[in-house]
Structure 1
Amino acid sequence: MASSNVTYQKVSIKYGIMVGIVHMIYFMLMWALGLTDVVELSFFSGIFLIIGIVMAIKSFKRAKNGVIAYFQGLGIGATVGAVSSALLALFLVVFVNVLETDYLESLQASALFPESLSILSLFVLTIVYGTVPGLLVAFIAMQWFKNPDHTMSERV
């Protein structure tokens, strides 16, 4: 792919979709193992978000010959977070309506969500819970990637 054809939006959407798919697989694995009641385990999916954002920034920087603007990196993080969490949010809406109608009630019973949690608020909260951390992860990662001489090896 030529450097001029690569935009941070294309890269972040690509990695956002990949992270979203991994989030859904992880959730289905938790469901298959009967662990969806342990809401705290869902926070481990943040590791997928961190890896996806770092890989997206690295990919974009490599495509741009080692140069990345600071705000492009922040945009990558926020977009990867928004895209991946939007996919997860859509998946959760289908999941709650089709596969596990009692799941929303178990979330309402946990201390992490309000008792008045609706499908719409679950959708919005899922997107917010992915976008804001995405921006924060990118902010931290860009402390490393903003300098032209800082790169990650190919083995990462």
Structure 2
Amino acid sequence: MEHTSTPAVTPASVGIRYGLLTGLVTVIYSFVLKAADLEQKPVMGFLTFGILIGGIVLAHKFYKQHNGGFMSYGQGLGIATVAGAVIGVLSGIFQYIYVNFIDAQYVQRTLETARAKMEADSNISEEQIDQAMQWTEKMMPTGPISIVWSILATAVFAFLLALIISAITKNTRPEFE
């Protein structure tokens, strides 16, 4: 008689699962911010980091629940990095579609807001503002390459967060078990 058992979850499968869930929440939240014109509020941006941190912590908890209560530091880093890449894919695709098809004036409004903030700072000359605006316009990702940058940036940021989170959530399996 053959013995079959359900395989333990893998860091990659948990990263993908929680990346999809967290990415969906992030996309919905981003859409609400854009629709309500609240995206430029710093407090609202910090909540995005809270969503990412919450997703990583929940992914670690899920992994430990399905792995006998254990998760190594490296597994925690892997889960978060995979989740970050998946979140980056979803966020990048959403941003690309939003900027190019839903709200074509988004980039222009963002640039105007940035200029107004710089003009309000009396320590910056008009020449410096013009130069900063030229660079800002060049750096605004609007093409398909923006999706790649989103994936890389979110994966790296999730990895950096996981350096701390994994140190807290890890529970290494004893060596002589």
Same fold at TM > 0.5: yes
Give the TM-score taking structure 1 as reference length: 0.81
Letter in 2 for 1:131: A
Unaligned runs of 5+ in 2: 115-131
**Structure 1 residue 87 and structure 2 residue 84: aligned?**
no
Q: Shift of the alpha carbon at 1:80?
A: 1.0
Tell me the secondary structure at the aligned position of residue 68 of structure 2. Answer: coil
Bigger Rg, which one: 2
**Structure 1 residue 143 and structure 2 residue 167: aligned?**
yes
Partner of 1:154: none
**Structure 1 residue 132 and structure 2 residue 156: aligned?**
yes
Give the one of 7, 29, 46 matched to 1:26. Answer: 29
Q: Shift of the alpha carbon at 1:3?
A: 5.9
**Structure 1 residue 114 and structure 2 residue 136: aligned?**
yes
Q: Shift of the alpha carbon at 1:44?
A: 2.5
Distance 1:118 1:52, change over 3 A: closer
| Contact 2:85–2:155 (Cα < 8 Å) also in 1 | yes
Bigger drift between 123-132 and 95-104 goes to 123-132
Aligned residue pairs total: 147
d(CA) in 2 for partners of 1:106, 1:128: 26
Aligned-CA RMSD value: 2.5
d(CA) in 2 for partners of 1:32, 1:123: 21
**What percentage of residue pairs aligned between the two structures are identical?**
32
d(CA) in 2 for partners of 1:84, 1:19: 7
Give the TM-score taking structure 2 as reference length: 0.72
Letter in 1 for 2:146: L
Following TM superposition, the consecutive aligned residue runs of length 4 or more in structure 1 with deviations greater than 6 angstroms are none
Letter in 1 for 2:136: P
Tell me the secondary structure at the aligned position of residue 165 of structure 2. Answer: helix
d(CA) in 2 for partners of 1:143, 1:22: 25
Letter in 1 for 2:31: M
Q: Shift of the alpha carbon at 1:59?
A: 0.6
| Contact 2:72–2:171 (Cα < 8 Å) also in 1 | no
Q: Shift of the alpha carbon at 1:148?
A: 4.6
d(CA) in 2 for partners of 1:126, 1:44: 18
| Contact 1:3–1:64 (Cα < 8 Å) also in 2 | no
